[in-house]
């Protein structure tokens, strides 16, 4: 008889602990997602004239349709982090903004979106390898 009472009491304790842990994990996960959210304001802009010289040159090449130095330039940018406005896959393309003295492609990019790569609807500049973006205004 005491065994059944103990088991019932133990079950309640286990259930209470489980519910508490579940609630805490929800709070923790929400905080983690918010911490990973972009800290940039989608309204932040940068004029073409404010881009580094290599960025200005890349903007010219984008509107000319190339030629581009790196094979990766002009390839589809997935926007997996969803820092840019949501669009269908294939809408965004990425381009390297060379960093003087850097042997690899470096961290700077221009990502442009539109149906026609040489006539993009919008372009965005990142100097921190996609961690933040500023819309390029002409």
Q: Write out the catalytic residue numbers.
A: 94, 129
Q: What is the pLDDT of residues 84-95, one digit of tens each?
A: 999 999 999 999
Joined together, the tokens standing for residue 86 give 């949501």
DSSP letters, 80-127, are: TT--SPP--TTSEEEEE---TT-SS--S-EEEEESSSTTS-SEEEEES
- Answer with the residue of higher pLDDT: 27 or 17: 17
- Name the residue among 129, 10, 138, 9 with its Cα closest to residue 62: 138
| Residue range 99-125: mean pLDDT, rounded | 96
Angle 73-53-38 (CA atoms, 0-180°, nearest 5)? 65
pLDDT at site 40: 44
**Beta pairing partners, 75:** 94
| Residue range 25-53: mean pLDDT, rounded | 63
Instruction: Please identify which residue in the block is written with the tokens 């309640």.
Output: 12
Report how far apart the first and last C-alpha atoms of the chain are (Å, whole number): 81
- Answer with the residue of higher pLDDT: 89 or 9: 89
Band the pLDDT of 20: cuts 50, 70, 90.
Answer: low
Band the pLDDT of 29: cuts 50, 70, 90.
Answer: very low
CATH topology of domain 45-137: Nuclear Transport Factor 2; Chain: A, (3.10.450)
pLDDT at site 38: 44
- Residue 101 pLDDT more than 70? yes
């Amino acid at each position: 008889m005491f065994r059944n009472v103990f088991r019932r009491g133990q079950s309640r304790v286990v259930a209470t602990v489980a519910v508490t842990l579940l609630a805490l994990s929800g709070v923790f996960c929400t905080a983690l997602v918010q911490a990973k959210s972009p800290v940039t304001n989608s309204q932040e802009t940068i004029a073409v004239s404010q881009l580094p010289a290599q960025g200005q040159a890349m903007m010219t090449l984008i509107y000319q349709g190339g030629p581009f130095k790196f094979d990766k330039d002009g390839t589809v940018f997935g926007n997996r982090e969803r820092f840019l406005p949501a669009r269908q896959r294939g809408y965004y393309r990425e381009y390297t903004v060379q960093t003087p003295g850097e042997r690899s492609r470096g961290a700077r990019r221009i990502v442009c979106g539109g149906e026609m790569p040489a006539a993009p609807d919008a372009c965005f500049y990142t100097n921190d390898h996609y961690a933040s973006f500023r819309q390029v205004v002409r």
